[in-house]
Amino acid sequence: MSFVEYGDTIKDGDTAIVFLGHESMFPVKVQHGSVTQTKYGVIRHSTDLIGKKYGSKVTCSKGGWVFILHPTPELWTMNLPHRTQILYSTDISIITMMLELKPGSIVCESGTGSGSLSHALIRTVAPTGHLYTVEFHQQRAEKAREEFREHGVEHLVTVTNQDVCKNGFGVSNIADAVFLDIPSPWEAIGHAKSALKAEGGRICSFSPCIEQVQRTCLAMEESGFTEINTLEILLRVYNVRTVSLQIPDLGKAAEDNSSAGFDSSSPSHQGSSCANLQQGTVQFKSGVPLREVVGHTGYLTFATKS
């Protein structure tokens, strides 16, 4: 199993996603002899998982069922263990596009954190690219190395435990892109410039506060970066549902005109339309925004090395 290479069958040692519903899923490490508890009952790894195909419908001990999904960076973002605040797919998608990443790209990242963005970057630059990720916290760096090894992508990533603001990324003049998610990104702009290729490399800095953005933009300008711009991505989800609206009373003339517009030769049209008119309501498909919407996550500042 690898996050960048699809496998048909579930094997011992794989990381799989147990899907109970769109709002309920979790990762599990498949191990011979182990069991996993769900609200629908027990899943026995040896008999219920190992050897089955990804996407299979598995019946639990209480009679309920779940789906077992192959892991992807998107599913991992939704289910990973949080060691830090993470980036979600809304921001990750624009970062990948604006940094112009593709298979074979070399990317530097700081900090690694919980590895949400790291997995997406690795999938994008595979199979010939590489990610150099720097994490200040030693235990988080060690945990990231362990996860990359378990997920079959360790050959595509190098994890370094050091302070990027003091020691940089450990590489020079090879990166196609640099991403910064640290409290004081302006202190790492010089090291980012050194890591980027001679010309045309892209940089992105993620910051939750506008004061951080201001200082970062000044540091970028002083270091000779061009095309500096800042974005904020706000996601608004709509729930499509059927609503019943009351037919307005427009008078007898309007009723005659509207009745003349119906095709009396169609029995199905006659039945449904007349029923709605008699009841005084008509049904429409409507998009309604959710009551709770994810608001500000952070500002994304992009620039190009000239």
Binding residues for S-adenosyl-L-methionine: 114-117, 135, 163, 181
Half-sphere exposure at residue 223, Cβ-oriented, CA atoms within 13 angstroms: 23
Q: Which residues are annotated as a binding site?
A: 114-117, 135, 163, 181
If we measure between CA atoms, which residue out of 145, 116, 123, 4 comes closest to residue 70?
Answer: 4
Residue type present at position 15: T
Q: Reduce the DSSP state of residue 269 to 3 states and report it.
A: helix
120: alpha, beta or left? (left if phi > 0; alpha if psi -120 to 50): alpha
Strand partners of residue 29: 15
| Sequence-separated (6 or more) residues with CB below 8 Å from residue 16 | 1, 10, 27, 28, 30, 49, 54, 68, 69, 70, 71
Torsion of CA 284, 287, 290, 293, to 10 degrees: -170
Question: Could you give the CA distance from residue 214 to residue 102 in angstroms, rounded to a whole number?
Answer: 29
